[in-house]
Structure 1
Amino acid sequence: MSDQKTDTRNADATPGSATPGSSAAGSAEAFWDERYDQSDRLWSGEPNAALVRETEDLTPGSALDLGCGEGGDAIWLARQGWRVTATDISRVALARAAGHADQAGVADRVDWQHHDLGASFPAGSYDLVSAQFLHSLHEMPREQILRNAAAAVTEGGTLLIVGHMGFPAWETEPHPGVDFPSPQKVLASLDLPTGQWDVLVCDTHEHSLTAPDGEPSTRTNYTVKLRRRARRA
Protein backbone atom coordinates (compact mmCIF):
# COMPACT_ATOMS: atom_id res chain seq x y z
CA MET A 1 0.00 0.00 0.00
CA SER A 2 1.76 3.32 0.42
CA ASP A 3 4.36 5.16 -1.40
CA GLN A 4 4.36 7.38 -4.40
CA LYS A 5 6.85 9.28 -6.44
CA THR A 6 8.87 8.36 -9.46
CA ASP A 7 10.98 5.24 -9.62
CA THR A 8 14.65 6.01 -10.20
CA ARG A 9 14.70 3.33 -12.89
CA ASN A 10 11.58 4.41 -14.78
CA ALA A 11 9.49 7.49 -14.42
CA ASP A 12 6.04 6.99 -12.94
CA ALA A 13 6.41 3.47 -11.63
CA THR A 14 3.53 1.95 -9.71
CA PRO A 15 4.06 3.19 -6.18
CA GLY A 16 2.18 1.26 -3.59
CA SER A 17 2.60 -1.94 -5.56
CA ALA A 18 5.25 -4.57 -5.91
CA THR A 19 8.14 -4.64 -8.32
CA PRO A 20 7.03 -6.65 -11.39
CA GLY A 21 7.51 -10.31 -10.72
CA SER A 22 8.00 -9.95 -6.97
CA SER A 23 5.94 -11.72 -4.30
CA ALA A 24 3.27 -9.93 -2.34
CA ALA A 25 3.28 -12.57 0.40
CA GLY A 26 3.43 -11.46 4.01
CA SER A 27 2.27 -8.20 5.52
CA ALA A 28 2.25 -5.01 3.48
CA GLU A 29 4.43 -3.28 6.06
CA ALA A 30 7.06 -6.03 5.97
CA PHE A 31 6.97 -6.05 2.17
CA TRP A 32 7.60 -2.31 1.90
CA ASP A 33 10.24 -2.23 4.61
CA GLU A 34 12.10 -4.99 2.79
CA ARG A 35 11.77 -3.23 -0.55
CA TYR A 36 13.14 0.03 0.81
CA ASP A 37 15.98 -1.81 2.51
CA GLN A 38 17.12 -3.15 -0.87
CA SER A 39 18.48 0.23 -2.01
CA ASP A 40 19.50 3.61 -0.66
CA ARG A 41 16.87 5.34 -2.82
CA LEU A 42 13.84 3.74 -4.42
CA TRP A 43 12.28 6.84 -6.00
CA SER A 44 13.78 9.88 -7.72
CA GLY A 45 13.08 12.38 -4.94
CA GLU A 46 11.24 14.66 -7.36
CA PRO A 47 7.56 15.50 -6.75
CA ASN A 48 4.91 13.85 -8.87
CA ALA A 49 4.18 15.93 -11.95
CA ALA A 50 0.42 15.84 -11.39
CA LEU A 51 0.82 17.15 -7.85
CA VAL A 52 2.90 20.09 -9.07
CA ARG A 53 0.54 20.82 -11.93
CA GLU A 54 -2.64 20.69 -9.85
CA THR A 55 -1.45 22.53 -6.74
CA GLU A 56 0.78 25.33 -8.05
CA ASP A 57 -2.14 27.78 -7.99
CA LEU A 58 -3.33 26.85 -4.48
CA THR A 59 -2.66 29.02 -1.45
CA PRO A 60 -0.42 27.03 0.90
CA GLY A 61 -2.04 25.82 4.10
CA SER A 62 -2.20 22.41 5.72
CA ALA A 63 -1.63 19.32 3.56
CA LEU A 64 -1.94 15.57 4.05
CA ASP A 65 0.23 13.30 1.89
CA LEU A 66 -1.06 9.71 1.87
CA GLY A 67 1.66 7.20 1.04
CA CYS A 68 4.56 9.63 1.23
CA GLY A 69 7.36 7.13 0.55
CA GLU A 70 10.76 8.82 0.67
CA GLY A 71 9.14 12.23 0.93
CA GLY A 72 9.45 13.79 -2.53
CA ASP A 73 5.94 15.24 -2.60
CA ALA A 74 5.86 16.24 1.08
CA ILE A 75 9.20 18.03 0.83
CA TRP A 76 8.14 19.87 -2.32
CA LEU A 77 4.91 20.99 -0.64
CA ALA A 78 6.84 22.14 2.43
CA ARG A 79 9.15 24.17 0.20
CA GLN A 80 6.09 25.90 -1.26
CA GLY A 81 5.00 26.93 2.22
CA TRP A 82 2.61 24.10 3.15
CA ARG A 83 2.49 22.55 6.62
CA VAL A 84 2.51 18.86 5.78
CA THR A 85 1.41 15.71 7.54
CA ALA A 86 2.97 12.82 5.62
CA THR A 87 2.14 9.18 6.25
CA ASP A 88 3.42 5.83 5.06
CA ILE A 89 3.16 2.17 6.02
CA SER A 90 6.95 1.72 5.93
CA ARG A 91 8.99 2.96 8.88
CA VAL A 92 12.10 2.58 6.72
CA ALA A 93 10.65 4.99 4.17
CA LEU A 94 9.57 7.44 6.86
CA ALA A 95 13.03 7.53 8.43
CA ARG A 96 14.57 8.12 5.02
CA ALA A 97 12.03 10.83 4.21
CA ALA A 98 12.74 12.61 7.49
CA GLY A 99 16.42 12.64 6.62
CA HIS A 100 15.71 14.09 3.19
CA ALA A 101 13.51 16.80 4.76
CA ASP A 102 16.30 17.71 7.15
CA GLN A 103 18.73 18.00 4.24
CA ALA A 104 16.22 20.18 2.38
CA GLY A 105 15.81 22.49 5.37
CA VAL A 106 12.09 21.83 5.84
CA ALA A 107 12.12 19.32 8.71
CA ASP A 108 10.10 21.71 10.88
CA ARG A 109 7.29 21.85 8.29
CA VAL A 110 6.60 18.11 7.96
CA ASP A 111 5.06 15.76 10.51
CA TRP A 112 5.94 12.16 9.55
CA GLN A 113 3.38 9.61 10.74
CA HIS A 114 3.32 5.83 10.50
CA HIS A 115 -0.06 4.45 9.37
CA ASP A 116 -1.44 1.38 7.69
CA LEU A 117 -4.24 3.40 6.12
CA GLY A 118 -6.54 0.41 6.11
CA ALA A 119 -6.32 0.31 9.91
CA SER A 120 -5.65 3.91 11.01
CA PHE A 121 -5.86 7.37 9.50
CA PRO A 122 -4.24 10.70 10.44
CA ALA A 123 -6.41 12.92 12.63
CA GLY A 124 -7.47 16.42 11.69
CA SER A 125 -8.68 18.27 8.63
CA TYR A 126 -6.56 19.69 5.81
CA ASP A 127 -6.65 22.27 3.04
CA LEU A 128 -5.14 19.70 0.67
CA VAL A 129 -5.31 15.91 0.81
CA SER A 130 -3.17 14.15 -1.80
CA ALA A 131 -3.28 10.43 -2.67
CA GLN A 132 -0.71 9.74 -5.39
CA PHE A 133 -0.68 6.24 -6.95
CA LEU A 134 -2.24 4.48 -3.98
CA HIS A 135 -2.15 0.97 -5.46
CA SER A 136 -1.22 -2.30 -3.83
CA LEU A 137 -0.70 -5.99 -4.52
CA HIS A 138 -1.81 -6.58 -0.95
CA GLU A 139 -5.47 -6.47 -0.02
CA MET A 140 -6.32 -2.86 0.77
CA PRO A 141 -9.66 -1.10 1.38
CA ARG A 142 -8.79 1.58 -1.15
CA GLU A 143 -12.31 2.95 -1.57
CA GLN A 144 -12.73 3.43 2.18
CA ILE A 145 -9.29 5.03 2.45
CA LEU A 146 -10.22 7.54 -0.25
CA ARG A 147 -13.55 8.25 1.47
CA ASN A 148 -11.60 8.93 4.65
CA ALA A 149 -9.36 11.21 2.59
CA ALA A 150 -12.39 13.16 1.37
CA ALA A 151 -13.72 13.45 4.92
CA ALA A 152 -10.39 14.97 5.99
CA VAL A 153 -10.67 17.88 3.53
CA THR A 154 -11.67 21.13 5.17
CA GLU A 155 -14.28 23.47 3.69
CA GLY A 156 -12.81 25.18 0.66
CA GLY A 157 -10.06 22.55 0.52
CA THR A 158 -8.89 20.27 -2.27
CA LEU A 159 -8.80 16.49 -2.69
CA LEU A 160 -6.31 15.27 -5.29
CA ILE A 161 -6.25 11.61 -6.34
CA VAL A 162 -3.83 10.42 -9.03
CA GLY A 163 -3.50 6.83 -10.19
CA HIS A 164 -2.56 4.43 -12.94
CA MET A 165 -4.99 3.03 -15.49
CA GLY A 166 -3.04 -0.23 -15.77
CA PHE A 167 0.36 -1.87 -15.59
CA PRO A 168 3.17 -0.49 -17.78
CA ALA A 169 3.62 -1.91 -21.26
CA TRP A 170 6.74 -3.85 -20.28
CA GLU A 171 4.95 -5.73 -17.48
CA THR A 172 4.78 -9.26 -18.94
CA GLU A 173 3.09 -10.92 -15.96
CA PRO A 174 0.27 -8.63 -14.81
CA HIS A 175 -1.30 -9.36 -11.45
CA PRO A 176 -5.04 -10.02 -12.03
CA GLY A 177 -6.03 -9.10 -8.49
CA VAL A 178 -4.94 -5.46 -8.81
CA ASP A 179 -7.74 -3.05 -9.66
CA PHE A 180 -7.06 0.04 -11.77
CA PRO A 181 -10.37 1.93 -11.72
CA SER A 182 -11.23 4.69 -14.15
CA PRO A 183 -11.38 8.25 -12.82
CA GLN A 184 -15.17 8.15 -13.19
CA LYS A 185 -15.32 5.02 -11.03
CA VAL A 186 -13.03 6.59 -8.45
CA LEU A 187 -15.26 9.65 -8.32
CA ALA A 188 -18.41 7.55 -7.96
CA SER A 189 -16.87 5.37 -5.25
CA LEU A 190 -16.22 8.42 -3.06
CA ASP A 191 -20.01 8.61 -2.54
CA LEU A 192 -19.83 12.34 -1.95
CA PRO A 193 -22.85 14.27 -0.63
CA THR A 194 -24.75 16.08 -3.36
CA GLY A 195 -24.06 19.79 -3.62
CA GLN A 196 -21.03 19.85 -1.32
CA TRP A 197 -18.20 19.32 -3.83
CA ASP A 198 -17.06 20.75 -7.16
CA VAL A 199 -15.39 18.43 -9.65
CA LEU A 200 -12.43 20.33 -11.10
CA VAL A 201 -10.69 17.50 -12.97
CA CYS A 202 -11.79 13.94 -13.76
CA ASP A 203 -9.76 12.73 -16.70
CA THR A 204 -6.91 10.57 -18.00
CA HIS A 205 -3.57 11.72 -19.37
CA GLU A 206 -0.51 10.17 -20.95
CA HIS A 207 2.75 10.32 -19.04
CA SER A 208 6.09 10.00 -20.81
CA LEU A 209 8.64 7.77 -19.11
CA THR A 210 11.64 5.57 -19.70
CA ALA A 211 11.24 1.78 -19.68
CA PRO A 212 13.70 -0.44 -17.80
CA ASP A 213 15.51 -1.17 -21.09
CA GLY A 214 16.12 2.55 -21.59
CA GLU A 215 13.56 3.00 -24.37
CA PRO A 216 11.01 5.83 -24.23
CA SER A 217 7.48 4.80 -23.33
CA THR A 218 4.19 6.20 -22.09
CA ARG A 219 1.74 5.22 -19.39
CA THR A 220 -1.88 6.24 -18.95
CA ASN A 221 -2.71 7.83 -15.61
CA TYR A 222 -5.77 9.62 -14.27
CA THR A 223 -6.40 12.67 -12.12
CA VAL A 224 -9.42 13.35 -9.94
CA LYS A 225 -9.38 16.80 -8.37
CA LEU A 226 -12.22 18.04 -6.20
CA ARG A 227 -12.89 21.13 -4.12
CA ARG A 228 -15.10 21.00 -1.05
CA ARG A 229 -17.52 23.90 -1.04
CA ALA A 230 -17.52 26.30 1.87
CA ARG A 231 -20.82 26.59 3.68
CA ARG A 232 -22.67 29.82 3.26
CA ALA A 233 -22.96 31.95 6.36
Structure 2
Amino acid sequence: MDVQILQLLEGARDARGLTVIIDVFRAFSTACYAYGKDAAKIIPVGNIEKAYQLKKENPKFILMGEREEKKPTGFDFGNSPSLLSSANLSGKTIVHTTSSGTQGIEAALRADEVITGSFVNASAIVQYIRNQNPETVSLVCMGYACEYPTDEDTLCAEYIKNELLGHDNDFARMKKIIRRGSGKRFFEPENQEWAPSNDFELCLQRDIFDFILKVKNEGSINYLQKVRVAEKTNTITQ
Protein backbone atom coordinates (compact mmCIF):
# COMPACT_ATOMS: atom_id res chain seq x y z
CA MET A 1 0.00 0.00 0.00
CA ASP A 2 1.44 3.34 -1.10
CA VAL A 3 0.34 6.08 1.33
CA GLN A 4 1.01 9.67 0.32
CA ILE A 5 0.35 12.91 2.18
CA LEU A 6 -0.75 15.87 0.06
CA GLN A 7 -1.61 19.46 0.88
CA LEU A 8 -4.36 21.95 0.04
CA LEU A 9 -6.38 22.20 -3.18
CA GLU A 10 -3.44 21.21 -5.37
CA GLY A 11 -3.13 18.05 -3.32
CA ALA A 12 -6.83 17.30 -3.70
CA ARG A 13 -6.56 17.74 -7.46
CA ASP A 14 -3.55 15.40 -7.55
CA ALA A 15 -5.07 12.75 -5.27
CA ARG A 16 -5.34 9.21 -6.61
CA GLY A 17 -6.69 5.95 -5.30
CA LEU A 18 -8.64 5.93 -2.04
CA THR A 19 -8.54 9.56 -0.98
CA VAL A 20 -9.12 10.97 2.50
CA ILE A 21 -9.96 14.69 2.54
CA ILE A 22 -8.89 15.86 6.01
CA ASP A 23 -10.39 18.85 7.81
CA VAL A 24 -10.11 18.47 11.58
CA PHE A 25 -10.93 22.12 12.49
CA ARG A 26 -13.74 21.78 11.82
CA ALA A 27 -15.69 20.57 8.80
CA PHE A 28 -15.38 16.81 9.04
CA SER A 29 -15.43 16.70 12.80
CA THR A 30 -18.65 18.74 12.73
CA ALA A 31 -20.13 16.49 10.04
CA CYS A 32 -19.52 13.43 12.23
CA TYR A 33 -21.22 15.13 15.18
CA ALA A 34 -24.19 16.00 12.94
CA TYR A 35 -24.58 12.36 11.92
CA GLY A 36 -24.13 11.43 15.57
CA LYS A 37 -27.26 13.49 16.22
CA ASP A 38 -29.15 11.40 13.64
CA ALA A 39 -29.06 13.76 10.67
CA ALA A 40 -30.48 11.98 7.63
CA LYS A 41 -28.10 13.31 4.98
CA ILE A 42 -25.26 15.81 4.60
CA ILE A 43 -24.71 17.48 1.24
CA PRO A 44 -21.22 19.03 1.01
CA VAL A 45 -20.90 21.92 -1.43
CA GLY A 46 -18.00 24.23 -2.21
CA ASN A 47 -19.92 27.19 -3.61
CA ILE A 48 -21.95 29.06 -1.01
CA GLU A 49 -24.37 30.28 -3.69
CA LYS A 50 -25.15 26.64 -4.44
CA ALA A 51 -25.94 26.16 -0.75
CA TYR A 52 -28.37 29.07 -0.80
CA GLN A 53 -29.96 27.73 -3.98
CA LEU A 54 -30.47 24.27 -2.48
CA LYS A 55 -32.12 25.88 0.54
CA LYS A 56 -34.38 27.95 -1.70
CA GLU A 57 -35.43 24.83 -3.60
CA ASN A 58 -35.79 22.78 -0.42
CA PRO A 59 -36.92 25.07 2.44
CA LYS A 60 -36.71 22.26 5.02
CA PHE A 61 -32.98 21.77 4.42
CA ILE A 62 -30.61 22.97 7.14
CA LEU A 63 -27.71 25.26 6.20
CA MET A 64 -24.47 24.65 8.11
CA GLY A 65 -20.99 26.02 7.50
CA GLU A 66 -18.70 29.02 7.49
CA ARG A 67 -16.84 31.66 5.60
CA GLU A 68 -13.79 33.13 7.35
CA GLU A 69 -14.81 30.73 10.16
CA LYS A 70 -18.03 32.61 10.88
CA LYS A 71 -21.63 31.58 10.22
CA PRO A 72 -22.82 33.10 6.91
CA THR A 73 -25.97 35.19 6.71
CA GLY A 74 -29.09 33.05 6.69
CA PHE A 75 -27.37 29.88 7.89
CA ASP A 76 -28.87 27.80 10.67
CA PHE A 77 -25.54 26.72 12.15
CA GLY A 78 -21.91 27.61 11.90
CA ASN A 79 -19.16 25.06 11.40
CA SER A 80 -18.98 24.17 15.10
CA PRO A 81 -19.69 20.90 16.93
CA SER A 82 -20.25 22.83 20.16
CA LEU A 83 -23.07 24.82 18.62
CA LEU A 84 -24.81 21.59 17.54
CA SER A 85 -25.04 20.30 21.10
CA SER A 86 -28.66 21.34 21.62
CA ALA A 87 -29.75 21.03 17.98
CA ASN A 88 -32.46 18.65 16.85
CA LEU A 89 -31.07 17.24 13.62
CA SER A 90 -32.93 13.94 13.60
CA GLY A 91 -34.10 13.15 10.08
CA LYS A 92 -32.82 16.45 8.72
CA THR A 93 -30.93 17.04 5.47
CA ILE A 94 -27.99 19.39 5.96
CA VAL A 95 -26.25 21.43 3.28
CA HIS A 96 -22.67 21.94 4.48
CA THR A 97 -20.24 24.43 2.95
CA THR A 98 -16.83 25.43 4.32
CA SER A 99 -13.68 27.19 3.23
CA SER A 100 -11.52 24.06 3.27
CA GLY A 101 -13.01 20.58 3.58
CA THR A 102 -15.93 20.81 1.20
CA GLN A 103 -13.67 22.53 -1.33
CA GLY A 104 -11.37 19.51 -1.23
CA ILE A 105 -14.20 17.10 -1.95
CA GLU A 106 -15.13 18.97 -5.11
CA ALA A 107 -11.49 19.15 -6.23
CA ALA A 108 -10.71 15.43 -5.83
CA LEU A 109 -11.95 14.48 -9.28
CA ARG A 110 -9.20 11.95 -10.06
CA ALA A 111 -9.65 9.89 -6.91
CA ASP A 112 -11.12 6.41 -7.14
CA GLU A 113 -13.01 6.90 -3.88
CA VAL A 114 -13.28 9.81 -1.44
CA ILE A 115 -13.91 9.71 2.29
CA THR A 116 -13.55 12.45 4.90
CA GLY A 117 -10.87 12.61 7.57
CA SER A 118 -10.73 13.72 11.20
CA PHE A 119 -9.54 12.44 14.58
CA VAL A 120 -13.04 11.77 15.89
CA ASN A 121 -13.34 8.71 13.63
CA ALA A 122 -9.67 7.99 12.91
CA SER A 123 -9.76 4.29 13.81
CA ALA A 124 -12.81 3.71 11.62
CA ILE A 125 -10.98 5.42 8.75
CA VAL A 126 -7.92 3.21 9.25
CA GLN A 127 -10.01 0.04 9.46
CA TYR A 128 -12.00 1.00 6.37
CA ILE A 129 -8.81 1.55 4.38
CA ARG A 130 -7.44 -1.79 5.55
CA ASN A 131 -10.66 -3.50 4.51
CA GLN A 132 -10.55 -1.90 1.06
CA ASN A 133 -6.81 -2.59 0.73
CA PRO A 134 -6.19 -0.11 -2.12
CA GLU A 135 -2.88 0.15 -3.93
CA THR A 136 -2.77 3.92 -3.36
CA VAL A 137 -4.01 6.02 -0.46
CA SER A 138 -3.97 9.83 -0.71
CA LEU A 139 -4.26 11.74 2.56
CA VAL A 140 -5.09 15.34 1.68
CA CYS A 141 -4.62 18.04 4.34
CA MET A 142 -6.90 20.95 3.47
CA GLY A 143 -5.32 23.47 5.87
CA TYR A 144 -6.67 26.89 6.68
CA ALA A 145 -9.11 28.06 3.98
CA CYS A 146 -7.03 26.04 1.50
CA GLU A 147 -4.35 28.73 1.88
CA TYR A 148 -1.67 27.15 4.08
CA PRO A 149 -1.10 23.88 5.97
CA THR A 150 -2.24 23.53 9.58
CA ASP A 151 -0.94 21.42 12.43
CA GLU A 152 -4.15 19.50 13.02
CA ASP A 153 -4.67 18.35 9.43
CA THR A 154 -1.03 17.44 8.80
CA LEU A 155 -0.79 15.56 12.09
CA CYS A 156 -4.08 13.76 11.42
CA ALA A 157 -2.64 12.59 8.09
CA GLU A 158 0.55 11.44 9.81
CA TYR A 159 -1.52 9.65 12.45
CA ILE A 160 -3.54 7.73 9.85
CA LYS A 161 -0.42 6.90 7.84
CA ASN A 162 1.40 5.63 10.91
CA GLU A 163 -1.53 3.42 11.86
CA LEU A 164 -1.75 1.98 8.36
CA LEU A 165 1.97 1.23 8.23
CA GLY A 166 2.22 -0.12 11.76
CA HIS A 167 4.24 2.76 13.19
CA ASP A 168 3.80 4.23 16.67
CA ASN A 169 1.73 7.34 17.29
CA ASP A 170 2.03 9.81 20.16
CA PHE A 171 -1.36 11.48 20.15
CA ALA A 172 -0.75 13.37 23.40
CA ARG A 173 2.29 15.01 21.82
CA MET A 174 0.30 15.82 18.67
CA LYS A 175 -2.44 17.44 20.73
CA LYS A 176 0.10 19.64 22.53
CA ILE A 177 1.57 20.78 19.20
CA ILE A 178 -1.90 21.65 17.91
CA ARG A 179 -2.78 23.50 21.14
CA ARG A 180 0.32 25.68 20.87
CA GLY A 181 -0.07 26.23 17.13
CA SER A 182 -3.15 26.43 14.93
CA GLY A 183 -5.48 25.44 17.77
CA LYS A 184 -4.65 28.38 20.01
CA ARG A 185 -7.27 30.54 18.29
CA PHE A 186 -9.98 28.56 20.08
CA PHE A 187 -8.79 29.96 23.39
CA GLU A 188 -8.79 33.64 22.44
CA PRO A 189 -11.68 35.50 24.17
CA GLU A 190 -12.63 37.49 21.07
CA ASN A 191 -13.25 34.28 19.10
CA GLN A 192 -15.59 32.48 21.49
CA GLU A 193 -18.81 33.37 19.69
CA TRP A 194 -17.81 31.53 16.53
CA ALA A 195 -14.84 29.37 17.65
CA PRO A 196 -15.64 28.26 21.21
CA SER A 197 -12.86 26.62 23.19
CA ASN A 198 -14.92 23.44 23.55
CA ASP A 199 -14.56 22.90 19.79
CA PHE A 200 -10.87 22.21 20.36
CA GLU A 201 -11.67 19.32 22.69
CA LEU A 202 -14.58 18.01 20.64
CA CYS A 203 -12.53 17.93 17.44
CA LEU A 204 -9.64 16.18 19.17
CA GLN A 205 -11.60 13.41 20.84
CA ARG A 206 -10.27 10.32 19.13
CA ASP A 207 -12.48 7.52 17.92
CA ILE A 208 -15.79 8.54 19.43
CA PHE A 209 -17.54 7.58 16.19
CA ASP A 210 -17.39 4.12 14.60
CA PHE A 211 -18.28 5.21 11.09
CA ILE A 212 -16.66 6.86 8.10
CA LEU A 213 -18.23 9.43 5.78
CA LYS A 214 -18.01 8.39 2.14
CA VAL A 215 -18.68 10.76 -0.74
CA LYS A 216 -21.44 9.44 -2.98
CA ASN A 217 -23.18 11.01 -5.95
CA GLU A 218 -26.89 11.41 -6.52
CA GLY A 219 -27.54 13.06 -9.87
CA SER A 220 -25.47 16.24 -9.85
CA ILE A 221 -25.26 16.38 -6.05
CA ASN A 222 -22.65 14.86 -3.75
CA TYR A 223 -23.64 13.62 -0.33
CA LEU A 224 -21.81 12.04 2.59
CA GLN A 225 -22.87 8.49 3.25
CA LYS A 226 -22.46 7.28 6.82
CA VAL A 227 -20.78 3.87 6.70
CA ARG A 228 -20.28 2.05 10.00
CA VAL A 229 -17.07 0.02 10.19
CA ALA A 230 -16.92 -2.81 12.70
CA GLU A 231 -13.67 -2.79 14.68
CA LYS A 232 -11.07 -5.45 13.86
CA THR A 233 -13.28 -7.22 11.34
CA ASN A 234 -14.02 -6.95 7.66
CA THR A 235 -17.65 -6.11 8.35
CA ILE A 236 -19.02 -2.88 6.92
CA THR A 237 -22.64 -1.87 7.49
CA GLN A 238 -24.53 1.07 6.05
TM-score of the two chains, using structure 2 as the length reference: 0.28
**Which of the two has greater helix per residue?**
2
TM-score of the two chains, using structure 1 as the length reference: 0.29
The answer to which structure, 1 or 2, has the higher relative contact order (CA under 8 A, 6+ apart) is: 2
